[in-house]
Chains A and B, each alone.
Chain A
Amino acid sequence: SQTIHQWPATLVQPVGSPLSLECTVEGTSNPNLYWYRQAAGRGLQLLFYSVGIGQISSEVPQNLSASRPQDRQFILSSKKLLLSDSGFYLCAYYPGQGSEAKNIQYFGAGTRLSVL
Chain B
Amino acid sequence: QSALTQPRSVSGSPGQSVTISCTGTSSDVGAYNHASWYQQHPGKAPKLIIYDVIKRPSGVPDRFSGSKSGNTASLTISGLQAEDEADYYCSSYAGSYTWMFGGGTKLTVL
Q: Do A and B bind each other?
A: no
- Residues on B close to A: CB < 8 A? none
Q: Which residues of A contact B (CB under 8 A)?
A: none
